[in-house]
Chains A and B, each alone.
Chain A
Amino acid sequence: MSEPATEARLKVRISNLHKSFGHMEVLKGIDLDIRHGEKVSLIGPSGSGKTTLLRCVNFLETLTSGEVYFEGERVGARKVGDRWLPARDRDLARLRTRIGMVFQRFNLFPHLDVLTNIMIGPVSVLRRDRAEAEAEAMALLEKVGLAHKAKAYPEALSGGQQQRVAIARALAMKPSLMLFDEATSALDPELVGEVLKVMHDLADEGMTMIIVTHEMEFARDVSNRVIFMDHGLVVEAGPPEQVFREPAQERTRAFLRAVLDKQAYRVH
């Protein structure tokens, strides 16, 4: 496939992406363009492929076929002459410095204190000056409301605090795209809000975000576009008002009914 000029303006272009684990096809041909500054929520039942799709964007999963472009650069492949070869360790590393990722299970480095968790990327990957990196890490901690925990170790933090540190760790790399993989799913209900607030602020600042989430209200509030996936396919996509209020597909309606019923139950 050629690389049309529009790709440079697109943050992410996914075209005819297939992904299989063994004989199981998890993504069955996904096409998706994400513009600069856009916030896209991926919703759908578990097993629908939304997390796998997210992980293909920064190549934590290899692609079975199809293509992913990030800022016009093909992900997971490099061109040598007129042939595409698999990306090398260093190519992937360089690409990932520009894409932040937040995991469901936080994945903070347990042997490092909070400040070091945040600084380690800028210092060891971007070769930033240590003092500068520390000052910026402190500023990020301030921003997520955890400056007083700089010297604490991850195990001493609540889940919500750990996830806020994880967001700060990703932001320290100054990424131009943030991927959130069910960032609040592992949290106790009373801790979800503090993490969503940080994500909300980030959205307000104009960060391009792809968000896999079960928090429908949040998806409605921050996204420009909601994408409903099921069985490895995009079933429905559109502005949140449309997808949530008047979904065109029966499968979307059934899913939303089930999820919203559960959420209503939780409130009462």
Chain B
Amino acid sequence: MSYQWDFRLVVLDWRMWLDAAGNTLLVCAAALALAVPLGLLLAAARMFGPAPLRWAVIGYVDFMRTSALLILIIWFYFAFPMLFGINLSPFMAATVAIGLQTAAYFAELCRAGINAVDRGQWEAARAIGMRTTTMLRLIIFPQALRRIVPILFSLVAEVIKGSSLAAVITFGELTYAASQVSADTYRPIETYTVVALIYFVIIFTASRLASHFERRLGFQR
């Protein structure tokens, strides 16, 4: 028995797919906009902060990294409003959950990148009289960045894939749209094939952009 593929109904409403893809990108961008600065702060606090702050950051990072993203998303959507009396839209709940978890990963990535800079570089910078902030800015961060940027892309890919979990709180991104289309058209195989292709195109494009960006910045080492 061979399956009769029929994509017509599935792609009929292409504007809807475009909107959904836009929402996926939007929630990812918002989550990253939260994760990157927060991750930097966490990394700085963990590396250079006083002991109690370091412990707090270690606790936060461990907790976030061992949490299931799906549970975090559900928690921020359903539990957070009950506990704090602040209602979060599906978009906000997804952004906060993905952003907070990604911040923990990004903080660890930054810390690893900074620690990977040879001790001799720190010593040479200190030996010519650089203060810590100058040393970090001119010597350590630029070298850490070369290690961080390539790995940052795989983190971005994880964020894009993770955003599909926001479907469970009815945020209108790609996976949620797919479930709707599938229910409307009775064509689940075609629908999820299409949505898989869209994810591929988005992540593949992001990957090309990332390597272009790496080359532009001369991160060839």
Interface residues of A (CB under 8 A from B): 58, 60, 89-90, 92-101, 103, 105, 107-111, 120-121, 124-126, 166, 169-170, 173
Contacts and interface: CB of A to CB of B under 8 A. Distances in A.
Interface of B: 118, 120-121, 123-132, 134, 138-139, 142-143, 146, 221
Interface centre among B121, B126, B128 (most CB of A within 10 A): B128
A98 B221 CA distance: 33
A173 B121 CA distance: 17
B131 A90 contact: yes
Main secondary structure of the interface of B (DSSP, over half): helix
Contacts of A121: 128-130
Nearest to A99: B127
A92 B126 contact: yes
A43 to B, nearest CB: 22
B120 A107 contact: yes
A110 to B, nearest CB: 7
Contact of A60 (B127, B130, B143, B221): B127
A75 B123 CA distance: 17
Contact of B123 (A60, A93, A110, A173): A60
A173 B129 contact: yes
Contacts of B131: 89-90, 93
A94 B146 CA distance: 30
Contacts of A111: 142-143, 146
A213 B128 CA distance: 21
Contacts of A58: 127
Contacts of A90: 131
Contacts of B134: 124-125
Contacts of A97: 128-129
Nearest to B146: A111
A103 B129 contact: no
Contacts of B128: 96-97, 100, 120-121, 125, 169-170, 173
Contacts of A124: 130, 134, 138
A83 B63 CA distance: 44
Contact of A107 (B123, B130, B138, B221): B123
Nearest to A120: B138
A146 to B, nearest CB: 18
B139 A109 contact: yes
B135 to A, nearest CB: 9
Contacts of A99: 127
B127 A96 contact: yes
Nearest to A104: B120
17 contacts: A60-B127, A89-B131, A89-B132, A92-B126, A93-B129, A93-B130, A95-B129, A96-B127, A99-B127, A100-B127, A107-B118, A109-B139, A111-B143, A125-B128, A125-B134, A170-B127, A170-B128
A64 B82 CA distance: 55
Given A120-B138, A125-B134, A109 B121 contact: yes
